[in-house]
Amino acid sequence: MSAELKGGITTGSCAALAAKAAALLLFRHERVEQVEIPLPDGSRLMWPVASLEQSNDTAEASIIKDAGDDPDVTHGARIRVRLTRLDDHNVMFRAGHGVGTVTVPGLALAVGEAAINPVPRTMITAAIREVTDHGVMVTVAVDGGEELAAKTFNPKLGIEGGISIIGTSGRVRPFSAPALQQSLKCALDICVASDTTAPVFVPGNMGRNAALRAFHLKTQQVVEVSNEWGYMLEQAQAHPFTALLMLGHPGKLAKLAMGQWNTHSGQSDSAVPFVADLAHQVVHHSLADTTTVEGVFMECLTAPQRRRVADRLAAAIQRNTAETFPASWLPQVVLINLRGEILGSAGDLQPWLRHLEEESL
């Protein structure tokens, strides 16, 4: 049996750890060697502090990123956070050297914003609020971030000047195809063992949270498949489900309509041209240029157009999945945006809506 892969922490966790260490120095004059923060799932993370500096109304701390056994370009990078007092109670964010700035619409952040994603912003704020209610400007920097960004998709996404501070759970799950597939199969086995007849497949945390908001589901009913859609759909063929729902962002799921069953960015093509072409066919007018699928839907289309395009795309995903992985059940599809809101769907959602109806009785 192969050794278990070592996990790590996200850049978002690094920034939150550094922010709390800097806050302890700035507001309590405490120089800590390690610091603990809350994570989105309610657990806590303790990590060593790499450096601390203070000057008047400013304090800076740094954390060394450890991605574990995941092949992450930011592994070993130094993430720095500088806190500066503000004369209010707000937590504001700014990109320091090596952290990118959003330059095009369509991402989860507005143009001109520091590329510090929403979940890390929430984590950083929560970490600081464990120390003080005072207002602060949070400047996040990454040593060598500009060079690291060239190895990521940031330049193609219109994020300039450095890397993005990302993470939805705070922890990095190491990527290894056999090990990942085995863990995913375990999750499906747990789902089957819980007598689930209508599972919900999602790519990750964002899809899981959206599914749990939209439907009343058992925890075991929602199965994360990561990027391994082909593998997991093949596994699902062996089980006598009565229905199966695939829920996720069209940036991932559109690749299934393209016949690409591993949706990892390193293993598949961008879905932007495919989705933009489909949108053009539906609305019969040219679209503004955008670098993301989110941009196609949220920046280039009106609300009614979004629904029509999303429904058409969902139907294409459903059709190609059913043809490639024939089973006793027909896959149903729900597409969401980055805020977890439903864009469109294909198929009969009653197996999952029925739970909501029963709850209201």
What's the confidence (pLDDT) of residue 219? Answer: 85
Q: What is the pTM of this model?
A: 0.66
pLDDT tens for residues 75-90?
899 999 999 999 999 9
**Within 13 A of 170's CA, how many CA atoms are on the CB side?**
21
pLDDT for 173: 67
Position 320 pLDDT exceeds 80: yes
How far CA 183 is from CA of 160, 168, 203, in Å, comes to 35, 19, 14
Among residues 125, 146, 172, the one where a domain terminates is: 172
Distance, first Cα to last Cα, the chain? 50
Would you state the pLDDT for residue 354?
62
Mean pLDDT of the chain: 90
pLDDT at residue 69 in the model = 67
What is the residue range of 266's domain?
Answer: 177-352
Do 212 and 198 fall within a single domain? yes
Residues 118 and 238 in one domain: no
Residue 185 pLDDT greater than 90, yes or no:
no
- The pLDDT value recorded for residue 166 is 85
Q: What DSSP string describes 208-229?
A: HHHHHHHS---GGGEEE-TTBH
206 and 337 share a domain? yes
Residues 189 and 109 in one domain: no
Residue with token string 């157009």: 305
- The residue out of 117, 146, 172 marking a domain boundary is 172
For the cut 50, the answer to whether the pLDDT of residue 291 exceeds it is yes
Mean pLDDT of 193-215: 92
Is 70 exceeded by the pLDDT of residue 176? no
Whether pLDDT at 193 is above 80: yes
CA dist 110 and 92 (Å) reads 14
- Residue 70: what pLDDT? 67
